[in-house]
Structure 1
Amino acid sequence: MADSRRWVWWGVALGACLFVYFLHPILTPFLIAIVLAYMFDPVVDRLERFGFSRTWGVITVFALFIVILMTLLLVLVPMLAKQLLKLYELAPQILDWLQHSAMPWVQAKLGLSDGFWKFDKIKAAITEHMGQTTDIVGVVLSQATASSLALIGFLANLVLIPVVAFYLLRDWDIMMAKIRSLLPREREEQIVSLAKECHDVLGAFVRGQLLVMLALGVIYSAGLMLLGLELGLLIGLMAGLAAIVPYMGFIIGIGAALTAGLFQFGGDLYPMIGIVAVFMVGQALEGMVLTPLLVGDRIGLHPVAVIFAILAGGELFGFTGVLLALPVAAVIMVLVRHVHDLYKDSQVYKGEEPEL
């Protein structure tokens, strides 16, 4: 009987893998909707405690989310488009500096051979494309409208995501209760306990680390723009996104900001000190305020596990795999922890002889 149950569970796991493999091209909007429902469920639950019905709580959360999102898009998209165009125009100058200043210095310090790195072809390619167009938004739109079918599919997914997320969020508690009612009775408590651990691990990342990333993006962007850095918004948002791995956002952001500042301010000391100060303040706030407040002492995903999960998911299933990577990594992390505990309590680890 135990063997038959084990085979049933293996069959369910195999069926889930095959389902994702064959249907992953259409799963993306549903997975994004599930992520939104998962993230906003605690907010709706809190509104219910204040007397809102479940439906009106979901409507309120969606209305606020759409207003904030549209405001950000109307403000940020034009600014980002201008900064992307500025970066596009600066690319040949950056390559010139790398070829004629940075690389000769590296070559002299490391004793490398002459011409070990060529930028001529890269520079020529960028210059050629700049001659063809100066409107990045136009390039993106032309690519997006190259296939009318792809554009229709994109718009359909864009409409589908909020619709699916609304119904999932409205019925979230009901679905969780039904899933729990289907669990094997003798294993219900154990499975629920494992699911709670997975929820804690994933929640510490999704609801904690993502908020930290957002806060750092705002801090870095605001600080760099106050200093007058032309690419401040772009670099700040990039550093915030890179903060998905601790310290990566700081390293990438300060490197990109100092490079941009070198070209814009000509190596003037005070703006460069200001750039360093912005990232030092951001890093201090992350360690002393943001992470303790938003993530707390919950055990999240290890940075190496995050990198590996995202790369592996993207390689196997594309963007769908990226969305599935972190939940799967959270489950695997919890299971590995329990296997570790079982091993430490086993006779194999302790070297004890079984009692007769």
Structure 2
Amino acid sequence: MIDSQRWLWMAGLLVLGGLLYLLHPILSPFLVGILLAYMGDPLVDRLERWKLSRTWGVIAVFALFSLVLAILLLVLVPMLGKQLMRLYELVPQMLDWIQHQALPWVQLKFGLAEGFWRFDQLKAAFSEHLGKTTDIVGIILAQVTASGLALLGWLANLLLIPVVSFYLMRDWDLLMARLRELLPRRREAVVVKLVSECHEVLGAFLRGQLLVMLALGVMYATGLMLIGLELGLLIGLLAGLASIVPYLGVVVGLGAAMAAGLFQFGVDFYPLLGIAIVFTVGQMLEGMLLTPLLVGDRIGLHPVAVIFAIMAGGQLFGFTGVLLALPVAAVIMVLVRHVNDLYKLSALYRESSDASDEPSSRA
């Protein structure tokens, strides 16, 4: 590649980065639409193989997505709302229990000073805000009515998501073919190989790890609710979401469930044993069934890369950055792997071994 072409590519990348930075406030519905189209395209392709037209396949997939969304809105969201309100009400009681039962035991075991823990101020703050729930609702309503244009913009973005995802899902294969036609002929094979590896990494995460998260969240929530844990649904779904990083879900979920179980059941052995069994069975099913079945041996993103990408994307671009974080991390991971391969094939990498071999050959 000559110098002028390099500068042209660098300028194009800078312009693209600048446009993304300037337009990121309006990119969220388009990125969500692209994500839905990307995840729904394999389902549509399978329906096409069953002799269904592309448009009707997209309609069928949209009907499935709509059914899942309706179940979430009608069943799951109200239940979660009740548990969140219950948690908000229980926080002062939990602080009382921590202050008068848990912390004295810890102080006795570790020989800490009497005034080492100071929970009075925290408890007073929660108790003060607890009585302002109705005021919070009033503030939210006032903000909504005061910023009617912002509310209309938010609703417009929400309605834009299904429109964008429908057209992208319907024309996905056509768009991919058109983009491939635009590639330089001499570089087509290399670019297609890189894109295929990015697709493998990202697909393994999105279509695999997200399904594992969903299955674990359902299992944890169902098991904890069967035990009778009052906040079982909330803790189970939280553990499922935390499973985006391997082993983090079981650590977060088990810790939160044990704390809630101690508060609700005291030192009763059997409910606590049931909580431990729920998470143990969940981990066994994840390792022996869910991950091999849904993710397989495909190369996924490293857990540290996932954490850093999400945090960095959110810090730089907010919600839009969170949506862009994982695709960008997948592309960077594939490019770094290829740069590493090129480096090991270069003379710079093999220079030391060649130099060390030279004296031995002379001897």
Q: Answer whether TM exceeds 0.5 for this pair.
A: yes
Decide whether aligned partners of structure 1 residues 145 and 294 sit closer, same or farther in structure 2, where only a CA change above 3 A counts.
farther
Does the aligned pair in 1 maintain the 2:144–2:151 contact within 8 Å? yes
Give 3-state SS (helix, strand or coil) of 1:297's partner.
Answer: coil
Does the aligned pair in 2 maintain the 1:81–1:136 contact within 8 Å? no
Q: Does 1:232 align with 2:232?
A: yes
Give 3-state SS (helix, strand or coil) of 1:165's partner.
Answer: helix
Q: CA deviation at 1:125?
A: 1.8
Q: Does 1:89 align with 2:99?
A: no
Q: Does 1:260 align with 2:260?
A: yes
Q: CA deviation at 1:152?
A: 1.4
Counterpart of 1:121?
121
Unmatched runs of 5 consecutive residues or more in structure 1: none
> Where in structure 2 are the equivalents of 1:44-55 lying within 5 Å?
44-55=44-55
Counterpart of 1:297?
297
Counterpart of 1:189?
189
TM-score normalised per structure 1: 0.94
Q: Does 1:278 align with 2:278?
A: yes
Count residues with an aligned counterpart. Answer: 353
Give 3-state SS (helix, strand or coil) of 1:51's partner.
Answer: coil
Percent of aligned pairs with the same amino acid: 71
Decide whether aligned partners of structure 1 residues 138 and 67 sit closer, same or farther in structure 2, where only a CA change above 3 A counts.
farther
Give 3-state SS (helix, strand or coil) of 1:300's partner.
Answer: coil
Cα deviation code 1:257-315 (max 9, x no counterpart):
11111111122111110010000000100000000000000000000000000000000
State how far apart, in whole Å, the 2-side matches of 1:42 and 1:150 are: 36
State how far apart, in whole Å, the 2-side matches of 1:271 and 1:138 are: 40
State how far apart, in whole Å, the 1-side matches of 2:9 and 2:111 are: 60
Q: Which amino acid aligns with 2:18?
A: L
Unmatched runs of 5 consecutive residues or more in structure 2: 356-363
Root mean square deviation, CA, Å: 1.9
Q: Which amino acid aligns with 1:77?
A: V
Cα deviation code 1:234-255 (max 9, x no counterpart):
0111000000000110000011
Decide whether aligned partners of structure 1 residues 106 and 264 sit closer, same or farther in structure 2, where only a CA change above 3 A counts.
closer
Does the aligned pair in 1 maintain the 2:258–2:275 contact within 8 Å? yes
Counterpart of 2:287?
287
Q: CA deviation at 1:133?
A: 2.3
Decide whether aligned partners of structure 1 residues 133 and 113 sit closer, same or farther in structure 2, where only a CA change above 3 A counts.
same
Mean Cα deviation higher: 61-70 or 89-98:
89-98
User: Which structure has the larger Rg?
Assistant: 2
> Where in structure 2 are the equivalents of 1:1-356 lying within 5 Å?
2-110=2-110, 112-133=112-133, 144-145=144-145, 147-351=147-351, 352=354
Q: CA deviation at 1:101?
A: 3.5
State how far apart, in whole Å, the 2-side matches of 1:135 and 1:238 are: 27
Cα deviation code 1:136-172 (max 9, x no counterpart):
8777666655532222122111100001100111111
TM-score normalised per structure 2: 0.92
Decide whether aligned partners of structure 1 residues 20 and 177 sit closer, same or farther in structure 2, where only a CA change above 3 A counts.
same
Q: CA deviation at 1:199?
A: 0.3
